[in-house]
Structure 1
Amino acid sequence: MSAPRFAFLGTSGAVASAQRDNTSLVVEADGVAILLDCGGSAVQRLRRVGVDPLALTHVVVTHLHVDHAYGLPSVVRQSGLLGRRAPLSVVCRPEHVEPLRALLTVFRLWDRPDLFPIVLAPIDLTPGARALTTGALSVATTPNDHGSMPNFAVRAQAGGKALVYSSDTRPCAAVATLAQGADVLIHEATFAERDRTDHRSETHASAADAGRVAAEAGVRRLILTHVGADYHDDVAALAGEAARHFGGVIEVAEELRFYTA
Structure 2
Amino acid sequence: MKIDVIGCGSALSTKLNTSAILVEDNTQCWLVDCGPTIPRALWQRKLDINQIQVIYFTHIHPDHCAGLPALLGQWRSFKRSAPLTIYCQKPQQASLEQLVSLASWPDKDWPFPITWRTIEDQFQHENWQLESAATQHEVPNRALLINNGEFSLFYSGDGRPTKSSIALMRKAQLIFQECACFDALPESSSHGDYPQSLALYKELGEKPMYLYHCWDEYREAIEQAVKQEAHLHVSDDGLVLTSAEW
Secondary structure of the structure 1 residue equivalent to 2:42: helix
Letter in 1 for 2:237: E
Q: For residue 239 of structure 2, what is the aligned residue in structure 1? A: 257
1:142 counterpart (123, 127, 133): 133
Equivalences for residues 171-210 of structure 1 within 5 A: 171-193=161-183, 196-198=184-186, 202-210=189-197
Letter in 2 for 1:36: V
2:36 counterpart (11, 36, 40): 40
Letter in 2 for 1:139: L
Uncovered stretches (5+) of structure 2, i.e. residues with no partner: none
In 1, are the aligned partners of 2:18 and 2:37 still within 8 Å (CA)?
no
CA distance in 2, matches of 1:145, 1:122: 20
In 2, are the aligned partners of 1:110 and 1:118 still within 8 Å (CA)?
no
Identity %, equivalent residues: 22
The answer on 1:166 being equivalent to 2:156 is yes
Secondary structure of the structure 2 residue equivalent to 1:168: coil
The answer on 1:13 being equivalent to 2:10 is yes
Secondary structure of the structure 2 residue equivalent to 1:202: coil
In 2, are the aligned partners of 1:182 and 1:219 still within 8 Å (CA)?
no
- What is the CA-CA distance between 1:49 and the residue it aligns to? 4.4
Secondary structure of the structure 2 residue equivalent to 1:74: helix
Give the TM-score of the pair, scaled to structure 1: 0.83
CA distance in 2, matches of 1:32, 1:110: 32
In 2, are the aligned partners of 1:73 and 1:109 still within 8 Å (CA)?
no
Uncovered stretches (5+) of structure 1, i.e. residues with no partner: none
CA distance in 2, matches of 1:50, 1:210: 34
Q: How many residues align?
A: 243
CA distance in 2, matches of 1:29, 1:211: 30
Q: For residue 116 of structure 1, what is the aligned residue in structure 2? A: 112
- Across the aligned residues of Structure 1 and Structure 2, the Cα RMSD in angstroms comes to 2.4
In 1, are the aligned partners of 2:20 and 2:32 still within 8 Å (CA)?
yes
CA distance in 2, matches of 1:214, 1:197: 17
